[in-house]
Structure 1
Amino acid sequence: MSVVERWFGAGFTQLHPLLQQLHQQGGKLHGDVDLQFGRGLAGVIGVRLATRLGVPTKQARVKFQVDIHDSDNTLHWNRYFADSAVLYSRFQPSGSWPHGHWLESTGAVKLALAVDVIEGGWYWRPLKAWLHGVRIPLWLLPHTEAYKRIEEGRYQFYVGFNLPLLGNLFSYSGALQLEHTATIPNSATAITVAAAP
């Protein structure tokens, strides 16, 4: 059983079947993503934030893939934006759904994220934040909106950052397809058999 299945428990069946499959077997999603930046000061801050995350800033649409797997009770998301640096995130479960949360570590930032399931989709809800291990108020960081859901058989996702008064800093979103994966017997870990780009 995968770490996501264990965390959700009986609530796992509320996710769309394709999201269930993804988090049972792991896999590689790929496609194009749209990048949008705010205007004025919001855009300047958005470009800086995107650059720190390894997200390209010169094009409005880029190739994207994310490798998803779990190991040692940790969910791994490795994101590749075109030819930019890889953005690694690790998610560790705490408690169980619907009252538990995930601890996401991406670089120096750690977030405690609850999950709301809406019409089969997975919607993150930030609860707490740490920077270099020091607890900080959420309002010191850009507000994050993120979800993944299934639309017309594809994995639709959205990640956006905004600040009060300034509005949208930047966002990336797209509809992705799942590549074929093979699983190791008696393990929830998946190995992608398609060649990496």
Structure 2
Amino acid sequence: MSPTVFQQALGAAFFRLPDSLRRLHAGSGRFRYAGRATIERGGNPLARLCAWAAGLPAAGEDVATVVDFDCAPHRETWRRDFGGARMTSTVSLRDGLLRERLGPVRFGFALHANEGAIWWTVATARLFGLLPLPAALFDGVRCREYEQDDRYRFEVEATLPLAGRIIRYAGWLEPA
């Protein structure tokens, strides 16, 4: 059996993660997780434009959240549903970075496992897959995956210069 994208990205550190993180990121084939999320959106017109271009969900409290995973050894497709707002992305590993496309921007994330959590930080970004963007523009884009109360938890925040907060969403998931 081939290692998953996250097992490849994190190496031996993957196996020191809490059970809920390992379970979610060790899955293969198709499977579903469900839970709840709280979503905050920025009010700046530029932030709203960025959120729209990336296909990000609207603000909401305690939103029903479902993620359908379709995982192969070198590529994973995540189909997220935040209370009816759908957001799909494909992640893969290239040159040691987790690649994910959101709207017109393709990100290269460095993953780090530390203190029982997976931390995502932007290492590269390209507009339309062609035009390199300074990674420093995305210093305010962060993701943390961790376990609390035996549940998989996530926190994602995106803040950009001039635009301010684009989105912040946090919540939990468990096998559905």
TM-score, normalising length: structure 1: 0.74
Q: Which residue of 2 aligns with 1:45?
A: 46
Q: Deviations over 1:129-176 (max 9, x none)?
A: 001122111344573111111110111111111134764332111122
1:147-162 matched pairs, under 5 angstroms = 147-162=144-159
Q: Which residue of 2 aligns with 1:105?
A: 101
Q: Deviations over 1:97-132 (max 9, x none)?
A: xxx221212332111110111222111011010011
Q: Deviations over 1:32-83 (max 9, x none)?
A: 21111345x3xx3333333333334364442211122322611222211222
Q: Which residue of 2 aligns with 1:90?
A: 90
Structure 1 residue runs without a partner (length 5+): 180-197
Bigger Rg over Cα: 1
Judging changes above 3 Å, is the alpha-carbon distance between structure 1 residues 107 and 58 closer, same or farther for their aligned structure 2 residues? closer
Equivalent position SS for 2:79:
strand
Asked whether the equivalents of residues 10 and 113 of structure 2 are also in contact (C-alpha less than 8 Å), the reply is no
Partner Cα distance (1:45, 1:33) in 2: 24
Partner Cα distance (1:155, 1:104) in 2: 20
Judging changes above 3 Å, is the alpha-carbon distance between structure 1 residues 116 and 8 closer, same or farther for their aligned structure 2 residues? closer
2:32 counterpart of 1:28 = yes
Equivalent position SS for 1:173:
strand
TM-score, normalising length: structure 2: 0.82
Q: Which residue of 2 aligns with 1:5?
A: 7
The structure that is strand-richer by fraction is: 2
1:1-197 matched pairs, under 5 angstroms = 1-3=2-4, 4-26=6-28, 27-38=31-42, 41=44, 44-57=45-58, 59-71=60-72, 73-84=74-85, 86-95=86-95, 100-132=96-128, 133-140=130-137, 143-164=140-161, 167-179=164-176
